[in-house]
Amino acid sequence: MEKKILHQHLLAIFLLFPINAFTQPSDFIILKRKHKTIHSYYSGSQVEFMTTNGIYRNALINVIKNDTIYVQEFLVQKIPTTLGTYLLDTAGSFRYAYHYKQINSFGPKPQKGFNIRGSGSSLMGGGILLVLGSGIVYVADRDKFSPGLMIAAGALAGLGYLMNRSGSSGSVIGKKGYSISYIDMTP
């Protein structure tokens, strides 16, 4: 009986007096474009970036401190089942540390295979050359000039321009107004 009364008194004491927990504020990294914040990266958030050495990381941020970002990348494998489906299995994880100035760009990994931006640039360059060639033929010999070829070449150059604009290269630091800032929150 005495234990029950003691527990009730302790419970009343714990409910009446708040318990304060103190935490240290975490540092963070800000991605800006033309002095406007686009994204903030904190401990515990997922990040995709390419380093200045050309290394791609898609990882979880463990800690950001002392101008360094500590990330953990997980090795995930697809394992086939007897039913024809797949199970995802985490085979391991790797930890890396990078100075925030070693980050070259944020965003997805550059794709392999068909490159929309590269194909658009080639198509635009070829279209411009055909338009220029048609202009030269028009000046030199108007009988051999084909207005249909010149219009088609202009259309291909325009299509190439649109393809070039639609592809993504990520947010490259230092280009198109992108910058990265380290915010130190330690007292």
Predicted local confidence at residue 52, as pLDDT: 87
Half-sphere exposure (CA, 13 Å, Cβ side) for 30? Answer: 12
β-pair type (36-41, 103-106)? unpaired
Predicted local confidence at residue 21, as pLDDT: 59
CB 59 within 8 A of CB 72: yes
Beta strands across the sheet bearing 103-106: 86-99, 68-80, 56-65, 46-51, 103-106, 171-172
Structure confidence by residue, pLDDT tens digits, 15-54: 676 666 556 667 888 888 888 988 888 888 899 988 888 8
Least-confidence region, from 18-27, 113-122, 124-133, 148-157: 18-27
CB 182 within 8 A of CB 100: yes
Is 159 or 5 the better-scoring residue by pLDDT?
Answer: 159
The band of 123, judged by pLDDT with boundaries at 50, 70 and 90, is: confident
Name the residue among 53, 52, 49 with its Cα closest to residue 64: 49
Is 11 or 107 the better-scoring residue by pLDDT?
Answer: 107
Tell whether pTM > 0.85: no
Predicted local confidence at residue 182, as pLDDT: 83
Predicted local confidence at residue 59, as pLDDT: 92
Predicted local confidence at residue 98, as pLDDT: 93
The three state secondary structure string of the chain is CHHHHHHHHHHHHHHHCCCCCCCCCCCEEEEEECCEEEEEECCCCEEEEEECCCCEEEEEEEEEECCEEEEEEEEEEEEECCCCCEEEEEEEEEEEEEEHHHEEEECCCCCCCCCHHHHHHHHHHHHHHHHHHHHHHHHHCCCCCCHHHHHHHHHHHHHHHHHHHHCCCCEECCCCCEEEEEECCCC
The band of 165, judged by pLDDT with boundaries at 50, 70 and 90, is: confident
Structure confidence by residue, pLDDT tens digits, 72-104: 999 989 999 999 899 998 889 999 999 988 988
Is 6 or 25 the better-scoring residue by pLDDT?
Answer: 6
The band of 71, judged by pLDDT with boundaries at 50, 70 and 90, is: very high
User: What is the spatial distance between Cα 92 and Cα 73, in angstroms, rounded to a whole number?
Assistant: 9
